[in-house]
Amino acid sequence: MGFSSWSHWLIVLLIIVLLFGAKKIPELAKGLGSGIKNFKKAIKEDEEETTLNATESQQDKIQKDSTTKETTTTPNETTKV
């Protein structure tokens, strides 16, 4: 059964109105919307920070690899005896 029927949702809505009153519901919705907005903003900032850190890490690794290759590579020297 579950809450897929419109009559179930109507009953739930009626109970919410009875519990909180018609004046309090817009305030609750505004607070909920603000909370969701702040949550999405925090997630976006965290993703940007993670991407930035990953990019910097990759650049550091590339620089480290290139300096290691430059210092370990020596020209081939052959001597005749």
- Map residue 28 onto helix, strand or coil: helix
Nearest alpha carbon to residue 16 among 32, 34, 40, 35:
32
> Does residue 74 form part of some domain?
no
46 inside domain:
yes
In a domain, 30, yes or no: yes
Residue 44 lies in a domain: yes
- CB atoms closer than 10 angstroms to residue 39: 10
**pLDDT tops 90 at residue 75:** no
Q: Say how far apart CA 15 and CA 11 lie, in whole Å.
A: 6
More confident call, 12 vs 65:
12
Model-level pTM greater than 0.75? no
Q: Is residue 2 part of a domain?
A: no
Query: Which residues constitute the domain of residue 32?
Result: 23-59
pLDDT of residue 21: 86
- Asked whether residue 64 is assigned to any structural domain, the reply reads no
Q: Is the pLDDT of residue 3 over 70?
A: no
Alpha helices in 1-81 (DSSP H): 6-20, 24-72
Give me the pLDDT at residue 52, please: 84
Domain count of the fold of the chain: 1
Per-residue pLDDT of 9-62, as tens digits, reads: 899 989 988 888 888 888 988 999 999 999 999 999 999 888 888 888 888 888
